[in-house]
Each structure stands twice: as structure tokens, then as C-alpha cells.
Amino acid sequence: MTSAPSCSPGSPVAARTDSPQVSAHRGTILHFLSDPGDSAAAGSYELIEDGLLVVANGRIDAVGPAQALLPTLPAGIPVIEHGDSLLMPGFIDTHIHYVQTDVIASGGRQLLDWLEDYTFPEERRFADAAHAASVAEFFLDELLRNGTTTALVFCSVHETSVNAFFEVAERRGVRMIAGKVLMDRNCPPDLRDTPETGERASRELIERWHGRARLHYAITPRFAPTSSDEQLQGAGRLARAFPDVFIQSHLAENHAEIKWVGELFPEARSYLDVYDRAGLVRDRSVFAHCIHLNSTDRTRMAHAHAAASFCPTSNLYLGSGLFDIAATDAAGLRFALGTDVGGGTSFSMLRTLADGYKVAQMGLQRLSPLRAFYLATLGGARALKLDDRIGRFARGTEADFVVLDLRATPLVARRIEQSRTLEEKLLVLMTLGDERVVAQTYVMGQATRHAVDAGALGGASANRAQSLHRSHAVSPQRHP
């Protein structure tokens, strides 16, 4: 299937020939225009089997069939050949803890024990700025190695953890959202703030970082049990004072957690109502897990334009339960995907999609491959209200994209060769794929690690790493 290009192929590309920041990428291009749902809804995506993605000064300048766009390129513009690799917008992770990087694959306890045994001891270390910066560097390396270009990130209770994360993210030019955890009770004394200090520190961090470069701040109460009502009210004041910042927390992940919330907040109608009473359920609020919600709470979130983050690897690893896709859709509640490292077991969005598919199967529901990749790209951008900037290929959007190698491993290559449709190929990538499938990640049009050399690709993939410099006068040739 090849659909119409997103810009007119007959008009010249707007890129200036004297700019070193202009390039074109040739390969199979896939991006989404809307939610495909359970089937390949007509018009929900654009697939260009021999496509050209033109990047100028970090933004998408044109996208369309290579045969139509190549003759319009100004002389001297480099054309980077990706062969039959798949070019997609960068993956978007809507729930992850950078301060839990070093407890991934720890134990097998359920949520509350896991926090006590692993998470809280690890997060103490983030009072040290050098440690926080070192972990932030590794964390962002892992995200980019796995093709994730934007994430909604929990830091620790320490301001040092937030400053370190944003400093590293700013140097790398990535679009990231993060915030200082708020906790004033039911946690170790050396990890507590107070309603006053937490609100004051969050305000200072918002004023320092929100809207700087490609960075956004998220007001971040860890979850209702570790914040007093007074602290949650303070978070609500921040939300009203800064209506364009994000809000993130956890919601209805585990039965014991929900019972505890009921005991701590007996006046609240539900777990969600605890946040709602504080003014924290609104546009740009993202609540992780949302497994054990009733229809009233799902509908309330939908009406408030809040979003849920579906974290299947974490939910399975901690035995929390199965996210109900059908009930979420029935309520009109927007949701996207989160890895939830370190309760989650992988930085890979591909592996997260695989577990999401299995969770749906266990619930006698369906997560189609097309919808899975929508959720990892445009769906994530829509959940974060950033789809005017990321998540799709449209002229003027930011050029964050990934190159997915259809022959990354012998097994992936073998199954791809036997796949007849786009959905079958996507199912192979999300079932058998991991970071090895991500041949390259681009942030604002710039490669984030060294280019894969042709020899490393092996066999039929060897031509895909070549970078060719063509002028519009050269007859375009498609690499095998």
C-alpha cells in the first residue's frame, strides 16, 4: 500500500542548499494519522514503500514517494539509503522511572513489598548529584538505543535528581518530561519532604526547566499513600498556577494498594477521587496502570481529558493484573504505553508491545499490531498533548524517528520473508524484536549513535547503511 505523500511531490523541497542541517532519508515509511482501532481502518496510517523523508534544521520538511521527491531536491543534499528498513516516528514512553534503572530485574515481589525492598533504598542514592548524572546518562543512552525519543519520567524526591536529568537531556536535545517525586508520609524518613518544601521545590524546578529547550515539567506525587491530603492540595495549587505543566502519578495498580488508599482517604469516593479532589485530574494528567478502575472513574478521566499509561511488562512482573483495553475504549479514555522501568523489565517499546498483546489475549481482547505501533508513536504523543510536535511525519514537526531493521536477527529476517501483509510484519517486529531491531535513532534529524557499518548488518542487509550524495539530476535508483 502506498498512500498520497504528505506534501506535494511536484513542488521543490524547501531545504536550503547552504545549510549543513539538511538531509533526506530513503526507506519504507510508516506513520499514523489516527487510531486504527482493532483493524486496519482506512486512512488511519500512511505507508510509503519506497519513501523519502526530508529533514531541514531538525524538522520534517517533506515526506512522500522517493521517485517524486528526489528530482526536487537541491543539488548536494545527502540522501541516506536505508534500503527496506522501516522509518517510523520515535517511540514515546508515557511512564518510566529513571531512578529505578539499577533495580530492573530485582526480586519478584508485589508492588508494596517491591517499593520497600528495592525502590526506596535505591532512590536514596539520588541525593548525590554525580550519581544522579551518571544514571541519567545511562538511562538516556538506553532509551535512545531502544528507539525511544520522548518519555514521561519519574525522578526521586531529591531536587538534585531532577536537575541532573534535565541537564543531561538538554545537552542531548531530546524532548523529555520529568518531575520531582512528592512524598511526605509512609516512606523512609530520609526520602520525605513536607507539603511546604515539596511545593516550593516543585515551583522552583518548574520555573527553571519547564519550556526550556525541549523540556517539560510534571507535577509528581508518587501515589496517594505517600502524600498527605495537605501535600496533594499543594500539588493542585501548582497545577492551577501552571496550567500547561504535566501531572503524573500512579493509579489503581494493585489490590492491596487500593485497599490502603481507602483506609487513608475514607472520605474519597475512589482512588481517582483522591486526586480529583485536589485538582489533579485534568488535561495533561497521565496516570500509570489504571488496572482496577470502575466505569465511573474511566468516564471521569475521559471527560477531564486525562490519560492512562498501560504498562504491561510491569503489571505482569509484579502480578498486578490485566489492563482492560475494551473498558478503556468504551469510556472514551485515551491511553498509551509505558515501560515502567524498573518494575517493568525492559526499556524496549517493542518488548512492551509484545507483552501488551499478551495481556489483551489473556483478557479475551485484541491489541492489533497496527494499533500497538500507533500507541507507541502518535498515540503516545496524543496522550501527552504533544502531537503537534512529535509522533507523526508532517511538515514542521520535529524530526525524531527510528530506523527499524527488518533483518536484525536471522529469526526476524526469516519470519519477515514469510509475512505477506504490513500487519504480519509489524507483529513479527513486536513479538521477536528488541533493541537489535533499532538500527538507528534520530533526534531532531541527528543520529544519536555511530552509523551501523555495512559489514555489521550482514548478508542481504549490507547495502542499508550506505549514505549516498545525489543531486536532483541523478536518476534515482532503489537499493535492494
259 with 397, same domain? no
Give the closest residue to 193 by CA, choosing from 241, 226, 216, 152: 226
pLDDT in tens, 327-338: 999 999 999 999
Judge whether 6 lies within some domain.
Answer: no
For residues 79 and 228, state if they share a domain.
Answer: no
* 267: pLDDT strictly greater than 80: yes
pLDDT recorded at residue 399: 98
My answer on whether 172 and 265 are in the same domain is yes
**Cβ–Cβ contacts within 10 Å for residue 323, how many?**
25
Expressed as residue numbers, the domain containing 333 is 92-383
In a domain, 143, yes or no: yes
Asked whether residue 476 is domain-assigned, the answer is no
The rounded mean pLDDT for the chain is 90
Cα(286)–Cα(153) distance, rounded to whole angstroms?
11
Where does residue 478 fall: left (phi above 0), alpha (psi -120 to 50 degrees), or beta otherwise? beta
Whether residues 75 and 121 share a domain: the answer is no
- State the number of CA atoms in the 13 A half-sphere of 284 facing the CB: 18
Q: What gap in Å lies between CA 375 and CA 30, rounded to an integer? A: 14
pLDDT in tens, 59-89: 999 999 999 999 999 999 999 999 999 999 9
Instruction: Express each pLDDT in 193-234 by its tens digit.
Output: 999 999 999 999 999 999 999 999 999 999 999 999 999 999
pLDDT in tens, 410-424: 999 999 999 999 999
**Do 81 and 101 share a structural domain?**
no
Q: Are residues 404 and 274 in the same domain?
A: no
Residue 480 has pLDDT above 90, yes or no: no
CATH code for the domain of 403: 2.30.40.10
CB 309 within 8 A of CB 288: yes
Domain at 220, CATH number = 3.20.20.140
Angle formed at CA 15 by CA 14 and CA 21, multiple of 5 degrees? 155
Q: What does the DSSP assignment read for 202-215?
A: HHHHHHHHTTSTTE
Residue 12 in domain: no
The verdict on 175 and 292 lying in the same domain is yes
**251-263 per-position pLDDT tens digit:** 999 999 999 999 9
Residue 133 contacts by C-beta under 8 Å, 6 or more apart in sequence? 164, 167, 168
For 114, the enclosing helix (H) or strand (E) is helix 111-114
> Is 10 among the domain residues?
no
Q: Whole-prediction pTM value?
A: 0.91
Last residue of a domain, one of 355, 383, 411: 383
Dump pLDDT digits (tens) for 299-344.
999 999 999 999 999 999 999 999 999 999 999 999 999 999 999 9
Residues 112 and 62 grouped into a single domain: no
Q: Is residue 318 located within the same domain as residue 436?
A: no
Residue 247 lies in a domain: yes
Q: Is residue 4 part of a domain?
A: no
Domain count, the chain: 2
**Which one of 383, 403, 435 terminates a domain?**
383
pLDDT of the residue at 12:
41
Residue 97 in this model has a pLDDT that exceeds 70 = yes
- Do 213 and 169 sit in the same domain of this protein? yes
Residue 334 lies in a domain: yes
Query: Is there a single domain that holds both residue 399 and residue 285?
Result: no
Together in a domain, 349 and 411: no
User: Taking 50 as the threshold, does the pLDDT of residue 469 lie above it?
Assistant: no
- At 189, the amino acid letter reads P
Q: Using an 8 Å Cβ cutoff, are 241 and 200 in contact?
A: no
Of 358, 383, 408, at which residue does a domain stop?
Answer: 383
